[in-house]
Amino acid sequence: LNLGSENSLLLLLLLLLLLLLLLLLLLLLLLLLLLLLVLLLLLLLLVLLLLLLLLLLLLVLLLLLLLLVLLLLLLLLLLLLLLLLLLLLLLLLLLLLLLLLLLLLLLLLLLLLLLLLLLLLLLLLLLLQRLLLLLLLLRLLK
The neighbour count for residue 21, using CB atoms within 10 Å, is: 10
pLDDT at residue 3, rounded to an integer: 61
Question: pLDDT tens for residues 40-66?
Answer: 999 999 999 999 999 999 999 999 999
Q: What's the pTM value of the predicted model, to 2 decimals?
A: 0.45
pLDDT at residue 68, rounded to an integer: 98
* pLDDT band at 2; cut points 50, 70, 90: low
Q: Which residues of 78-114 are buried (b: 16+ CB within 10 A; e: fewer)?
A: eeeeeeeeeeeeeeeeeeeeeeeeeeeeeeeeeeeee
* pLDDT band at 142; cut points 50, 70, 90: confident
Residue 110 per-residue DSSP state:
H
Average pLDDT over every residue of 113-141: 95
Average pLDDT over every residue of 22-36: 98
Question: pLDDT tens for residues 66-120?
Answer: 999 999 999 999 999 999 999 999 999 999 999 999 999 999 999 999 999 999 9
* pLDDT band at 7; cut points 50, 70, 90: confident
As a 3-state breakdown, the chain gives helix, strand, coil percent values, each rounded to 5, of 100, 0, 0
